[in-house]
Structure 1
Amino acid sequence: MGNELESEHATSNMASYGFASMSREFVQIAFGTYVFFYYEAEIGLNVWLIGIGLIIFAIYNAINDPLIGYLTNRPFKFTKKWGRRFPLIMLGGLPMGFSYFLVFAPPTTDPNTGALVLFGWLIFTTCLYDTLHSLFYVNFSSLFPDKFRSQSERRKAAGIQITLGVLGLGLGSILPPLFINFGDFQSYILQGIVAMLFGLITMIIAIPGCREDKKSIEKYLESLEKKPERGTFVGETKNALKITSFLAFLVLYVMYQAATTSMIASIPYVIRFILDLPASATTLIMAAMLIGTIASVPLWIKLAHRYNDNRKVMLIAITLMAIFTSPLIFLESYILIIITMLLWGATLGGWWSMLFPVMSDIVDESVVRYQKREEGTYNGILQFFGRLGNIIQVLSFAIVHTLTGFVEGQETQSSSALVGIHMHLGLVPMICLFIAALVFWKWYKLIPERVTQNQQKIKEMDL
């Protein structure tokens, strides 16, 4: 461990950083769970208008993320005093909950005669939400490898951040359905207010942890003096895509996003149409996932320390996640679904525990190869490709619902429509996750020896 950079951040500072993750995950999980369902099953908007609207949102998102990553990966007038990441994290994070609230407060109009109004509102509010989210998350995730430099500190910080992030994910899954009543539009507005307040409070708590170290700011500004030239957006993107391990991770990330968004967005459909239960029944399913995830994080972190191999631990987590997804293809028992989600949550803890350490290893590889820090560009590209996962989810819903005869705004659905719900709850996610595991195993090459060499070289380059 002597080659690693020194660990210097207090646990309380890491926890404060983690509250930003809690804020983001609360809003993100609620967004992914209810947007499609709200506009289709509650408002009754045509499924293809919803699909097109959310694809436009995803395309905007895809372009927006790497562009923000590139544009913010430079010094500003406020950089010397406040850092280059902290002000942008706050600018995006503090109002993000309000934009989420707007998604669930569309104009009151008939879904047939006023379809274009609702369609336009869906596009406007989701793109506003994404703009703020991208500004926040690209800079928040870019801060991690720069602030936490050693493997041991990264794993500790990741463990704390992931625990708080998963807690936010769980609360975002558990609290909104407690305020939602199927068929009651006002209840969706109420849960939007709850999400907005939660996001604001947790972002305020995150302020100390998201501040950049004076030493890191000074090193960054000094590095610009040594090498002031900056590549073009296209050039930096091409450089990033030349790293094979990054490409493998991009495929993994796309398939993970497609799988998890499909599963989570399916749950309200399962509760209402397959199990015929009230919206509050979602709480126990999500609570089981939360318990499994939080309980497993310390075990995954311990496993990572034992193997000292982020690649191996990530591969184990994704493979197990695919295996535990498969029962959801056919289960129609509330209790059995809860048990399955508990087990699935335990594998999700592995993904969460390894996400930032693996991405940090990739950033280190790029620093050694190109001799400059471009975390924003890499995280922007990652989010760009992640939107492909959202497009896969939206298209699978629209195609499956069309082929199986799901009727928008109807209280009950046919048996074929219920089969369709099972498909996007279990089958589609399982296939995506097995593809992810295969590609990551085959082409991700950052083994422990290479990671250690990269960290030593970065220390020598003083970057």
Structure 2
Amino acid sequence: MSRTRMIAYSAGSLAAALSYQCFGTYVQFFYIDVLKLAAGWVGVAMVVYGIWNAFNDPLAGQISDRTRTRWGRRIPYIAFGTLPLILCFILVWTPPFRTERGQALWLFVYFFLIIHLFDTLWTFVILNWTALFPEMFPDLRQRAEVSGWRQFFSIPGLILGIALPPMVYGSLGWPWMGIIFGLITGIFLYISLWGSREHPEFQRDEPLSFREALRATLANRAFRLFLVANLCIQFTFVMLTATTPFYAKYVLGLGDAETSAMLGAVFVTALPFLYLWTKVAQRFGSRQALLAALGLFAVALLPFLAIRDFRGAIAATTGMGAGLAGLLMLTDLLIADVVDEDELGTGVRREGMYFGMNGFVIRFAVSIQSLILTQTLRASGYVPDLPSQPGSVLLGLRLLMTAVPIIALAIAFLATRAYPLHGDRLVQVKARVMRLHEEKRAGRVPRPAR
């Protein structure tokens, strides 16, 4: 595949990151603070949403794996789901009901329905776009390069989805923010669609039932170890993101602009290191590269035990960027190898179920992080809005920025060390998969016993 199409496919990362970060960061603020919908009602809707958000990933993955059309298994969901996704994203920010007109109940119903519809469409479109990655790029060299390009687009999407909305809705209003961001999302998804392709021989595979698919997925030892590592990595991300505003305000005494600069420095620094990690993965393998990234990121957190000012914070967060780049791009390489090995046992390409189950498991990272953060604040004596917090709170925040994520990274390191798809075994898997694909293209592959 040409580099142009590889880059085009990767552009979908900007759409995925921009739309979901904007939604996740601002939707509750918009409905509670701007539209004055009762926070309790929003909380109820978000609890149900959280449950649906977890379970719809494996469901969408299994449906995708079983889809058979003349356009392929994944591409139809992207091609025909993108426009409804854009419209739904816009509708999130343009509700027709207002509490001041006595329509609070209708606004709640609208909010409940629209967030579930948005998440369902987002899952089907983005999961299928993600599931194309292992199929389109079968060898490590291509996978490492494309994973680097994906994160090259994803990081600006993250920054724009978090930092840009206040400037847009502050000057143009919330509806125009929805329209502008929705159009950007659509443009990059359609660019990605142009760069996407499927192999028709995989549609001839006889799909597994949901029970068979779930059993085979959870029985995969390499996948279970990957889930442990990835859950810990995602937990580290959300813990640091959630703790940073408290740490910046109370430990360092920084304002909002300086806090944004802290977060921005991490992502900006990560961009140039994507190329380096691509080369490391191609040279030493994805498992070895991930082990190095985990160690580097853990070491980069240690300065947060001691820094006391903005200059130190920028230096520390800049150091985090090098390891962050590796963590962002390398996990997809490991799960792609898992999918390859699974095909040897089941005879079927099942990217949808694997990416769906991964999405299901990593949702728990937010719940675990929230529990640890809130209980640490409570136990340490945190009092909201005090200009200065007691020393016990400051110590707790330093530990949340260092010890807690470092423990999670250590668990991820051990799980990655035990991950079996590397070295000679991985070489053998790749060779057998190549032969299997040649047989599938020739139309002479029996279904393996299950």
Name the TM-score class by shorter chain.
0.7 to 0.9
Could you tell me which residue of structure 2 aligns to residue 3 of structure 1?
none
1:459 aligns with 2:448: no
Asked whether the 8 Å contact 1:58–1:390 carries over to 2, the reply is no
Aligned partner of 2:194 in structure 1 is 208
Does residue 1:389 correspond to 2:365, yes or no? yes
Matched residue pairs, number? 432
Matched residue, 1:164: 153
Equivalents in 2 of 1:327, 1:109: separation in Å?
48
Structure 1 counterpart SS, 2:67: coil
Match of 2:181 in 1: 195
2:78 is aligned to 89
2:11 aligns with one of 4, 7, 19: 19
* Among candidates 88, 108, 117, match of residue 128 of structure 1: 117
- Structural mapping, 1:82-121, within 5 Å: 82-96=71-85, 99-100=88-89
CA 1:190/1:264 → structure 2, altered by over 3 Å: closer, same or farther?
farther
Change beyond 3 A, Cα 1:433–1:59: farther
Aligned to 2:331: 355
Preserved CA contact (<8 Å) 1:97 1:196: yes
Check the 8 A contact 2:382/2:389 in 1, yes or no. Answer: no
Query: Counterpart in 1 of 2:276?
Result: 299
| Structure 1 residue 328: Cα displacement | 4.0
CA distance in 1, matches of 2:407, 2:28: 22
Q: Within the alignment, does 1:439 sit opposite 2:415 as a pair?
A: yes
Partner deviation per Cα, 1:210-261 (whole Å, 9 max, x = no partner):
3x24xx12x123x33xxx3x32212211111111110011111212222212
User: Superposition pairs for residues 304-343 of structure 1, below 5 Å?
Assistant: 304-307=281-284, 309-328=285-304, 331=307, 333-343=309-319
Post-superposition offset of 1:169: 2.5
Q: TM-score, normalised by structure 2?
A: 0.82
Change in CA separation of 1:33 and 1:335 when aligned onto 2, cut-off 3 Å: farther
Name which of structure 1's ranges 92-101 and 363-372 shifts more when overlaid on structure 2: 92-101
Residue equivalent to 1:277: 255
Structure 1 residues 275 and 397: CA distance shift in structure 2, 3 A: same
Is residue 216 of structure 2 the alignment partner of residue 239 of structure 1? yes
Aligned residues of 1:289 and 1:341 also touching (Cα < 8 A) = yes
Paired letter, 1:131: T
- Two-structure CA RMSD over aligned residues (Å): 3.7
Preserved contact between residue 251 and residue 436 of structure 1 (Cα < 8 Å):
yes
State the Cα deviation string for residues 278-320 of structure 1 (Å, max 9, x = none).
4x5454334312222111011111111221x211111211232
2:129 to 122, 137, 140: 140
Aligned to 1:29: 21
Residue of structure 1 equivalent to 2:348: 372
Are the aligned partners of 2:98 and 2:104 in contact in 1 as well (CA < 8 Å)? Answer: no
Give the corresponding residue for 1:253.
Answer: 230
Pick the aligned partner of 1:69 from 38, 61, 64: 61
SS at match of 1:83: coil
Q: CA deviation at 1:140?
A: 1.2
Question: How many Å separate the matches in 2 of 1:338 and 1:125?
Answer: 39
Assess, with a 3 A threshold, how the Cα gap between structure 1 residues 277 and 45 changes in structure 2: closer, same or farther: farther
Give the counterpart letter for 2:328 in structure 1.
Answer: W
Contact 1:85 1:139 (8 Å CA) reproduced: yes
Matches within 5 A, 1:36-51: none
8 Å CA contact retained: 1:313, 1:354: yes
Partner of 2:444: none
* 1:415 counterpart letter in structure 2: Q
Is the 1:45–1:115 contact (alpha carbons within 8 Å) kept by the matching residues of 2?
A: yes
Q: Identity over the aligned pairs, expressed in percent?
A: 27
Residue 176 (structure 1) aligned to one of 162, 165, 175: 165
**Residues 1:430 and 2:416 are matched in the alignment:** no
1:445 aligned counterpart, secondary structure:
coil
Paired residue type of 1:324: A
| Counterpart contact for 1:406–1:413, Cα < 8 Å | no
* Matched-pair contact (CA < 8 Å) for 1:174–1:284: no
- Give the Cα separation in 1 of the matches to 2:80 and 2:308: 44
Q: CA–CA distance in 1 between the matches of 2:412 and 2:108? A: 33
Instruction: Tell me the residue number matched to 2:443.
Output: none
Does structure 2 conserve the Cα–Cα contact (< 8 Å) formed by 1:26 and 1:169?
yes
Equivalent residues of 1:170, 1:289 under 8 A apart: no
Q: How far apart, in 1, do the equivalents of 2:401 and 2:180 lie?
A: 27
CA contact (8 A) 1:37 1:268 kept: no
- Tell whether the 8 Å contact from 1:405 to 1:414 is kept in structure 2 after alignment: no
Once the two structures are superposed, what CA deviation does each residue of 1:318-349 show, in whole Å capped at 9, x if it has no partner? 23223323444665533332322222121111
With over 3 angstroms needed to count, the CA separation of the structure-2 counterparts of 1:200 and 1:400, relative to structure 1, is farther
Structure 2 letter corresponding to 1:456: A
User: Is contact 1:148–1:154 with CA below 8 Å preserved after alignment?
Assistant: yes
* 8 A contact 2:296–2:323 mirrored in 1: yes
Decide whether aligned partners of structure 1 residues 13 and 272 sit closer, same or farther in structure 2, where only a CA change above 3 A counts. same
- Tell me, in whole angstroms, the C-alpha distance in 1 between the residues paired with 2:105 and 2:370: 19
Match of 2:241 among 244, 249, 264: 264
**For residue 4 of structure 1, what is the aligned residue in structure 2?**
none
3-state SS of paired residue (1:73): helix
Q: Which residue type is aligned with residue 172 of structure 1?
A: G
Deviation at 1:66?
Answer: 0.2
What secondary structure is seen at the aligned counterpart in 2 of 1:72? helix
Unpaired stretches in structure 2, ≥5 consecutive residues? 441-450
C-alpha distance in 1 between matches for 2:401 and 2:39: 17
8 Å CA contact 2:202–2:348 kept in 1: the answer is: no
Change (3 A) 1:189 1:288: farther
Distance in 2 separating the partners of 1:148 and 1:10: 11
Q: 1:301 to 1:253 in 2, by over 3 A?
A: same
Following the alignment from structure 2 to structure 1, what is the Cα–Cα distance between the partners of residues 283 and 423? 12
Q: Which residue of 1 aligns with 2:445?
A: none
